[in-house]
Amino acid sequence: MNLAVFASGQGSNFSAIVNAIKRGGIKVRSVLLVCDKPLARVIGRAQKAKVGVILVRREDFAGRADFEAAIIQRLISYKIDLIALAGFMRMLSPAFVRKYRSRIINIHPSLLPAFKGSHAIKDAFKAGAASTGVTVHFVDEEMDHGPVILQEKVRITSGDTLASLEKKIHAVEHKLYPHVVRLYSEGKIKIRRGKVSISNP
């Protein structure tokens, strides 16, 4: 399997996946980083891990269609089988999603459909929720939506601060996302008519 990880920021989930690959926990032929921010920390992580980087800046293109076409051209040239979104701060167009239907996954720091959006951890904390969690799901045309692959609950205790909750969420993310990528690479995740099944998780 050839994997592309899309990221725009710190890249901790990117590193979690790459580290699992290096340990032999995920069998891939090649892994690639696609990034839209030249100053993103994830680029340094990729360089340190000797992972190839494709930098595609939105401002270099007249419109969204041209921007995505440039990404798709590179994905085709690298024969990418799976796209893992890991803090990629752009919505993919419906046309892009259709082209890679059932081959794009995303990680989100809540138990979807609760607390969608870019401030999910803070929103759950401020709402006084008893628990939140992490979701890995297939991407469809809507934001933070699509068939759920796996979820893991995280309790919010009376002693938690926003910082401690973020730390707990990230710890779960760094285990769950590589696990899902491994299951996909082994052909254990199937999706049919919007329903996900997993064999021998």
Q: How far is residue 197's CA from residue 147's CA, in Å, rounded to a whole number?
A: 10
| % of residues, the chain, pLDDT over 70 | 100
Residue tagged active-site, from 108, 137, 174, 179: 108
Tokens (6 digits) for 1: 């399997």
Q: What is the pTM of this model?
A: 0.95
Residue 50 burial (CB < 10 Å; 0-12/13-18/19+)?
A: exposed
Does residue 119 have an active-site annotation?
no
pLDDT at residue 48 is higher than 90: yes
Would you place residue 119 in the very low, low, confident or very high pLDDT band (cuts 50, 70, 90)?
very high
pLDDT at residue 102 is higher than 90: yes
Q: How far is residue 101's CA from residue 115's CA, in Å, rounded to a whole number?
A: 24
Helix, coil or strand: residue 159: coil
Paired with 4 in beta bridges are: 32, 83
Domains of the chain plus CATH, in order, are 2-198 (3.40.50.170)
Would you place residue 200 in the very low, low, confident or very high pLDDT band (cuts 50, 70, 90)?
confident
Residue for token pair 């969690």: 133
pLDDT at residue 194 is higher than 90: no
Identify which has the larger pLDDT, 45 or 25. 45
Beta strands in the chain, from DSSP E residues, in sequence order? 2-6, 30-35, 52-55, 82-85, 104-108, 131-138, 148-155, 189-192, 195-198
| % of residues, the chain, pLDDT over 90 | 95
pLDDT at residue 201 is higher than 80: no
pLDDT in tens, 137-178: 999 999 999 999 999 999 999 999 999 999 999 999 999 999
pLDDT in tens, 67-77: 999 999 999 99
Mean pLDDT over the full length of the chain: 96
Q: What is the pLDDT of residue 78?
A: 96
Q: What are phi and psi of 85, to 5 degrees?
A: -80, 125
Identify which has the larger pLDDT, 84 or 194. 84
